[in-house]
C-alpha cells in the first residue's frame, strides 16, 4: 500500500488531466487510508471515521446538478466513453461535497498543522513544503502527532468523497488477529 501511495503522489501533485483517470483520486484515498489504518492497528489507536459529507442543497447545488444533468445527457459511443461519463458524474457529486466543506476542511487542516509546526502555514502549498521538511528531520517523539494529523486529514478527505464513499468504506482494514 505504501508503494501505491508513493506512486500516486507524483501524478496527483503534477496534474495532467488528459491522461489522469478519476480513479486515481479514489486509489489515492483508498491506499492512503489503508496504510494509516494498518499503522493505527499496530500501535493500538482506534480511528473514528469522519461522517460522510451531506452535499449542499438549494442554491449551492445548482451548478453541480446542472453539470450532472449535462453529463447524463451525453451519449457515449464506446465503453470507455461510458466509463468516463460515469466518472464525470461521480466527480460532479464529489465537487458538490467540496463546495459544502472543502474550505472548512482545508482551514482545519492548516490549524492542525500549526500544532505540529508551531505556526499556521498560509496555504496548502506552504503547508506541504513545511510538513515535508518537518517530517524529514523529525524524530520518533513526533510520530504520534504526525499519525494523528495524517489520519484526521485523510478521514476528512474520505468524508468529502461522497460518490466514492461506498468503495472507500471497505478499504478501512478490519483488525487482524495473530
User: Tens digits of per-residue pLDDT, 59-76?
Assistant: 888 888 899 999 999 999
Helix, strand, or coil here: 166? helix
pLDDT tens digit sequence for 85-112: 998 998 998 898 888 899 999 999 999 9
The confidence band for 174, taking pLDDT boundaries of 50, 70 and 90, is low
**pLDDT of res. 24:** 82
pLDDT of residue 43: 92
Task: Give the list of residues 6+ apart from residue 27 with CB closer than 8 angstroms, or none.
Answer: 4, 8
Which pLDDT band, with edges at 50, 70 and 90, does 1 fall under? low
- Write the pLDDT tens digit of every residue in 117-156: 999 999 999 999 999 999 999 999 999 999 999 999 999 9
The more confident residue out of 171 and 138 is: 138
Q: What is the mean pLDDT of the chain?
A: 87
Alpha carbon distance 12, 17 (integer Å): 10
Provide CB contacts within 8 A for 24, sequence distance 6+: 8, 11, 12
What's the CA angle centered on 157, arms 151 and 162, to 5 degrees? 135
The rounded distance, in Å, linking the Cα atoms of 151 and 34 is: 10
pLDDT at residue 171 in the model: 56
pLDDT tens column, 149-163: 999 999 999 999 888
The beta-carbon contacts of 60-68 under 8 Å, at least 24 apart in sequence, are 60/99, 60/100, 61/96, 61/99, 64/92, 64/93, 64/95, 64/96, 64/99, 67/92, 67/95, 68/92, 68/93
- Structural domain spans, the chain: 2-169
Beta-carbon contacts of 171 under 8 Å, excluding residues fewer than 6 positions away, are 30, 33, 34
pTM for the full predicted model: 0.83
Amino acid at each position: 500500500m505504501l508503494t501505491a501511495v508513493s506512486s500516486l503522489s507524483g501524478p496527483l501533485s503534477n496534474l495532467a488531466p488528459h491522461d489522469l483517470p478519476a480513479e486515481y483520486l479514489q486509489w489515492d484515498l483508498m491506499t492512503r487510508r489503508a496504510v494509516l489504518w494498518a499503522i493505527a492497528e499496530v500501535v493500538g489507536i482506534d480511528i473514528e471515521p469522519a461522517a460522510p459529507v451531506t452535499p449542499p442543497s438549494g442554491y449551492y447545488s445548482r451548478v453541480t446538478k446542472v453539470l450532472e444533468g449535462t453529463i447524463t445527457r451525453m451519449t457515449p459511443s464506446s465503453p470507455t466513453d461510458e466509463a468516463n461519463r460515469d466518472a464525470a458524474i461521480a466527480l460532479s457529486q464529489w465537487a458538490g461535497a467540496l463546495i459544502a466543506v472543502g474550505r472548512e476542511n482545508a482551514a482545519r487542516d492548516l490549524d492542525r498543522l500549526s500544532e505540529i509546526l508551531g505556526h499556521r502555514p498560509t496555504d496548502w502549498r506552504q503547508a506541504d513544503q513545511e510538513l515535508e521538511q518537518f517530517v524529514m528531520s523529525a524524530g520518533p517523539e513526533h510520530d504520534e502527532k504526525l499519525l494523528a494529523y495524517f489520519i484526521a486529514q485523510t478521514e476528512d478527505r474520505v468524508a468529502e468523497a461522497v460518490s466514492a464513499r461506498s468503495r472507500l468504506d471497505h478499504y478501512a482494514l478490519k483488525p487482524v488477529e495473530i
